[in-house]
Structures are given as structure tokens and as C-alpha cells.
């Protein structure tokens, strides 16, 4: 079965769209839920393939799970954790599932979690995770593709991260919740998802302060001090940024609801400098519009609160038709320009030199047959197709499904011309891109 988007470009997006729960947060909350015995309930959970994979991971550990699609809620009963092993079959499908390592070593004093390996956007090492757990007293062996961690008890310690790794910060936080004494994470990641995890754990009975800053303090508590909870996930800032980009790219005007604007301050500032119009309507809504050709800018991706690497590809799409020349420096991942060949096939003028991309604005993009190489690159190609003249086809939608719930439906709510088709066999796509019968 081949899944494709068929998109007619050049139509301004107008209307309202509501943003779902943050994928990068809810996956970590699911892992955190196994720390407390009993049934926890998480709201604002998007229906994504990554969420489904994490459900399978924690079910493999013995937790009972149930997802309510209508309510967008998830229940996790972690009364009994019967296994300490997260298999390669599941962990290899999604790196974020490696986060169960910290939760398992905290609750069960032992964990066996498959190494996640690399991913499409580049190597993401786990040595920071391992060194952090060893600092707490875990004995770790890496054998047969698994990280095997074991301890009689974890003891709080000072942990300094060479880089503010989100995953390492989260794994160390989870491991420290039930450790004896205090743990201090220095040069910690500051992302909103870190704050959400700390709030979730504190609601559960943990004692964490400093989340959202470079220094996080976790005072260990006893197992019987943790209790199951109900909790609502924060909105997805990357989905919000994607729809902001799509509206601006198509010279449209739209309202984006269920967002936390403060989570997008740096990104919003860059859009304003390019010439977009952004107006805060209320604490969780903003109006986005653009009438004129944008101006080019330069930026460097950085850990939060800097420019988010997950929105770099969206910004690149905007720069393809902006006035002047823009330069993007990708400082976090070595393979994060995978959308460049397809954008150039659409008529963009992008030159890549290692971790720098030089984008000379052209007047317009033209529709083409495009292939999603990873989650964010795939979404940026959909945005490019929406702004381009003519019709486009986007393939390998499973990448996009990892992080965007009902993507095509939300685009249609804004007036975009997009259809999803599951086809048994390839067809003459060159001919199909010039045939509007599918729209």
C-alpha cells in the first residue's frame, strides 16, 4: 500500500485551527506514569503512531493501557510492572521510548532497554543518559544491543551535562525521583516539555524545582509518596509553528487556538522580522497573516529558548521565496537538511555546505513529486506544496503521521486543497500531478 498526499497549491489558507497535545511531552508523561502504582489518566493526548508505539512499550512492561480517541485521553494502570525489558523491536521504531530506562531503574532498580540506534536526522548518542545514571549509582553494561542497568539503591548526586540534552535530562529526572537524597542536574535542557514532565511528577508527589532553567533539583521521595494522577498535556508548539508557517507561506490569514505563545517566542520574533503579521488574541490564541513577499533572515538552531531545530525546515520553506538571501546554520543535528533536494526540485535555490544552508529567494515554487524523509522535513514539504504553483504529490506519509494528528483534515479546515489516498500500486505520477481530478 502506497500512501500519498495530493495537493493543489497557491490557495491562501484562511480560518481557524486548534492545536493538539505535545507529542514530545506526552511520550515522556507516559513513561513517568509507570513510577506510581495505580491508574493515572492523561488528557490532550494526540492520536499518533508514536503514541501507539509508546503504548506498546509500556504494555510490554506490564502496565494496562487504554486510549479514548473521542476524549483524547489515555489511562495507564501501573499497579504491576512485570517486566524490566523494552525490546529492540519496539524501541527501534521510536527513539523517545528509550525514556523508559530512567523510569524502570527508579521503580524496579533494574532495566534492560534496547539501544535506539541512529535516526534519519543524524546520530543522537545516549552516553549522556548513561553517565547520568551511573552518577546516581546504577551499574550499567551494554551488551547484545541492550543497556542493562541495575542498582541496589540510587543515591542523589550532582550531574553535569556537556550539552543540554532533552532526553538525558528527562531520563535523569525520572531516575532521581525515588533516589535517596538530592540530585542536581546542571546545564539541563530547558524545553517546555521538561517543565511539563516536572509538573506531572510533582503532581504525582515528586519534589522537583528549577525545571525550565539550566539547573534542576530533584529531592528524592519514597515509593509510597507517589500516587496516580489526572493530568493535561501542554499544546504542541511544533504543530503550532507548522500551521503558522503554512498560513504565512500561502499568504493567508488564520487563527491558531490552544497554544502557549510563550513557547514560540523566538520563532515568532523571526517571523515578524521576515514581515509576517502576528497578533495575540487571548492567552491561548493568535492571529497570523501575511500579504506581501517576506524578507530573508539568518538564524542558527539552538536548544530552547533558541530557534527550535524542529521548525528549521519550515523556516527554510518560507525563505525559498523571500526577498534576498538567508543563511541557516543547523547546530544540533548533522542530517537536518534532508528537505533540500526536493525543495530545489520545486525551483528553490538552496546551496548546502555541511551544516549551513544558503537560500536565495526565488519568485515562486512549482509543484512536484516529493518524498518525506523524516517527520519535520515531510511536514515542510507539505507546506511547500501548499504555497507552490500547480499540483504536488507527497509520498511516505508514515513519517508525517508520527507527529501530526489529522494533518490533512486540519489543512482542509483552513481551505487547503489536499487529499490523502492509499493506493495498491504506483501509478503515472508525472501525469497525475497535472490532473486535478483527485482534488
279-326 pLDDT, tens per residue?
999 999 999 999 999 999 999 999 999 999 999 999 999 999 999 999
Residues 106 and 225 in one domain: yes
Same domain, 156 and 257: no
Alpha-carbon gap, residue 174 to 149, rounded angstroms: 14
Which 8-state DSSP code applies to residue 306?
Answer: S
pLDDT on residue 152: 96
Predicted pLDDT of residue 419:
97
Using CA atoms of 99, 102, 103, 109 in order, give the dihedral in degrees to the nearest 10.
150
385 and 322 belong to one structural domain: yes
Give me the pLDDT at residue 335, please: 78
pLDDT at residue number 117: 58
pLDDT at residue number 428: 54
Co-location of 161 and 195 in the same domain: yes
Specify whether 116 is located in the same domain as 94.
Answer: yes
| Residues 281 and 182 reside in one and the same domain | no
Pairing between β-strand 277-282 and β-strand 391-395 as defined by DSSP bridges: unpaired
Tell which of 182, 215, 232 closes a domain: 232
Q: How far apart are CA 185 and CA 357, in angstroms?
A: 34
What is the mean pLDDT of each successive set of 10 residues along the chain, which is 439 residues long?
A: 94 98 97 98 97 96 96 97 94 90 97 75 71 96 92 97 95 98 98 98 98 98 98 98 98 98 97 98 98 97 96 98 97 87 98 96 98 96 98 96 96 98 64 49
Last residue of a domain, one of 232, 262, 296: 232
Number of domains in the chain: 2
Beta bridge partners, 159, equal 185
Answer yes or no: do 214 and 273 share one domain. Answer: no
Q: How many Cβ atoms sit within 10 Å of the Cβ of residue 362?
A: 15
241 plus 139 within the same structural domain: no
Active-site residue flag, 119? yes
Same domain assignment for residues 192 and 248: no
Question: Judging by beta carbons within 10 Å of its beta carbon (0-12, 13-18, 19+), is residue 1 exposed, middle or buried?
Answer: exposed
Indicate whether 72 and 204 sit together in one domain.
Answer: yes
Q: What is the pLDDT of residues 54-101, one digit of tens each?
A: 999 999 999 999 999 999 999 999 999 999 999 999 998 888 899 999
What CATH number did the domain enclosing 419 receive?
3.65.10.10
Range of the domain at 77: 23-232
* Contact assessment for residue 218 and residue 206, using Cβ atoms and an 8 Å cutoff: yes
User: Same domain for 63 and 76?
Assistant: yes
One domain, residues 79 and 185: yes
Kindly name the residue from 2, 59, 119, 413 that is annotated as catalytic.
119
Nearest to 191 by CA among 231, 237, 160, 259: 237
Residue 93 C-alpha cell reads as 521504531
User: What pLDDT was estimated at residue 116?
Assistant: 83
Choose the final residue of a domain: 213, 232, 251.
232
Beta pairing, strands 39-43 & 230-232 = parallel
Amino acid at each position: 500500500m502506497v500512501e500519498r498526499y495530493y495537493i493543489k497549491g497557491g490557495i491562501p489558507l484562511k480560518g481557524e485551527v486548534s492545536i493538539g497535545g505535545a507529542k514530545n511531552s506526552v511520550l515522556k508523561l507516559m513513561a513517568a506514569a509507570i513510577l506510581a502504582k495505580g491508574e493515572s489518566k492523561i488528557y490532550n493526548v494526540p492520536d499518533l503512531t508514536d503514541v501507539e508505539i509508546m503504548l506498546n512499550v509500556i504494555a510490554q512492561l506490564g502496565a494496562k493501557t487504554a486510549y479514548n480517541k473521542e476524549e483524547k485521553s489515555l489511562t495507564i494502570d501501573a499497579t504491576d510492572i512485570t517486566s524490566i525489558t523494552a525490546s529492540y523491536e519496539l524501541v527501534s521504531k521510536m527513539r523517545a521510548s528509550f525514556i523508559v530506562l530512567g523510569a524502570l531503574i527508579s521503580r524496579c532498580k533494574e532495566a534492560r532497554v534496547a539501544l535506539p540506534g541512529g535516526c534519519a536526522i543524524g546520530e543522537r548518542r545516549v552516553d549522556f543518559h548513561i553517565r547520568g545514571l551511573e552518577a546516581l549509582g546504577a551499574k550499567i553494561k551494554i551488551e547484545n544491543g541492550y543497556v542493562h542497568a541495575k542498582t541496589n539503591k540510587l543515591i542523589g548526586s550532582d550531574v553535569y551535562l556537556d550539552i543540554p540534552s532533552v532526553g538525558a535530562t528527562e531520563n535523569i529526572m525520572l531516575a532521581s525521583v525515588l533516589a535517596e537524597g538530592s540530585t542536581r542536574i546542571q546545564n539541563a535542557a530547558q524545553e517546555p516539555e521538561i517543565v511539563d514532565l516536572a509538573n506531572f511528577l510533582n503532581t504525582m508527589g515528586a519534589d522537583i524545582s528549577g525545571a525550565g532553567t539550566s539547573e534542576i533539583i530533584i529531592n528524592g521521595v519514597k515509593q509510597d509518596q507517589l500516587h496516580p494522577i489526572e493530568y493535561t498535556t501542554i499544546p504542541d508548539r511544533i504543530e503550532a509553528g507548522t500551521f503558522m508557517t503554512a498560513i504565512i507561506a500561502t499568504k493567508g490569514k488564520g487563527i491558531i487556538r490552544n497554544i502557549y505563545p510563550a513557547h514560540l517566542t523566538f520563532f515568532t520574533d523571526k517571523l515578524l522580522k521576515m514581515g509576517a503579521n502576528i497578533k495575540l488574541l487571548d492567552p491561548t490564541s493568535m492571529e497570523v497573516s501575511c500579504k506581501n513577499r517576506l524578507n530573508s533572515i539568518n538564524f542558527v538552531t539552538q536548544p530552547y529558548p533558541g530557534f527550535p531545530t524542529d521548525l528549521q525546515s519550515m523556516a527554510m520553506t518560507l525563505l525559498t521565496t523571500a526577498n534576498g538571501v538567508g543563511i541557516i546554520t543547523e547546530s544540533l543535528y548533522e542530517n537536518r537538511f534532508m528537505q533540500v533536494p526536493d525543495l530545489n526540485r520545486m525551483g528553490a535555490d538552496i546551496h548546502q555546505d555541511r551544516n549551513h544552508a544558503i537560500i536565495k529567494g526565488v519568485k515562486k515554487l512549482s509543484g512536484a513529486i516529493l518524498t518525506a524523509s523524516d517527520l519535520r522535513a515531510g511536514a515542510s514539504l507539505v507546506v511547500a506544496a501548499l504555497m507552490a504553483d500547480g499540483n504536488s504529490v507527497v509520498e511516505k506519509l508514515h513519517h508525517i503521521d508520527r507527529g501530526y494528528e489529522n494533518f490533512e483534515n486540519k489543512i482542509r479546515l483552513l481551505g487547503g486543497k489536499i487529499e490523502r489516498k492509499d493506493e495498491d500500486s504506483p501509478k503515472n505520477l508525472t501525469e497525475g500531478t497535472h490532473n486535478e481530478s483527485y482534488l
